[in-house]
Amino acid sequence: MVKGASQKMTIARGDRIPSVPIKLVGTGDTIDTTSDAVLGHGLVVFFGVPGAFTPTCDTSHLPGFAANTAKFKALGVDKVVCGTVNDHHVTRAWAERSEAIGKVEFIADGDGILADAMGLSKQMSGMGKRFARFAMIIRDGVVEDLFVQDVAGVTVSGAPAVLMALQAAQVSA
């Protein structure tokens, strides 16, 4: 989200998911839709990766979420969604090759419009605009928790950290 003309703000707890055009890649056809239509209903875990097929995203970030979809569902999560600033063809090829399609839905944010709207875009040398590595818990379109990865690797934004946050929320409820 953008505050003022020049100050870029990162989405935060309590903020609504912005409504921008995206492509949803799932088990069927790729669908032109909006971010709030995909992320705005029920309990959603949304994580963003710098790029499909990139080493850490491919071997650490996505596999953790895909392998734990049953655990997420047991904690009341309606869906797990991965966002990437890649075109929908690359996103689909990655989803299929990783065998995550059907477990995880994928947002192809080819121009980085969603990444910018959420204040979670970053310029990466040789790769252009990408999502920062993050995960969030969204309930009915409102961010409940946000985990932005500040260091290399997958720690605070990985599936284990999000599962722990969901479990802690259940205990305190």
Hey, what domains does the chain have and what are their CATH numbers?
Answer: 14-172 (3.40.30.10)
Residue 59's pLDDT is what? 65
Q: Residue 41, Cβ neighbours under 10 Å: how many?
A: 14
DSSP 8-state class, residue 8: E
Q: Which of 123, 109, 170 is nearest to 144 (CA)?
A: 170
Band the pLDDT of 8: cuts 50, 70, 90.
low
Q: How confident is the model at residue 128 (pLDDT cuts 50, 70, 90)?
A: low
Give yes or no: 57 in active site: yes
Contact (Cβ atoms closer than 8 angstroms) between residue 130 and residue 121: yes
- Token readout for 142 is 């409102």
Instruction: Report the pLDDT value the prediction gives residue 151, as an integer from 0 to 100.
Output: 64
The answer to whether residue 141 scores a pLDDT higher than 80 is: yes
Percent of the chain having pLDDT more than 90? 68
What is the Cα–Cα distance from 158 to 135, expressed in whole angstroms?
A: 7
CA 44 – CA 30 distance, rounded (Å):
20
Structure confidence at residue 152 as a pLDDT band (50, 70, 90): confident
Active-site entry in 57, 107, 154, 159: 57
d(CA 40, CA 98): 26
Rg over alpha carbons for the chain, rounded to the nearest Å, is: 15
The model's pTM = 0.90
If you average pLDDT over residues 87-105, what whole number do you get?
94
d(CA 41, CA 57): 26
The average confidence (pLDDT) of the chain is 88
State residue 88's pLDDT score: 96
Task: Identify the residue with better confidence: 76 or 157.
Answer: 76
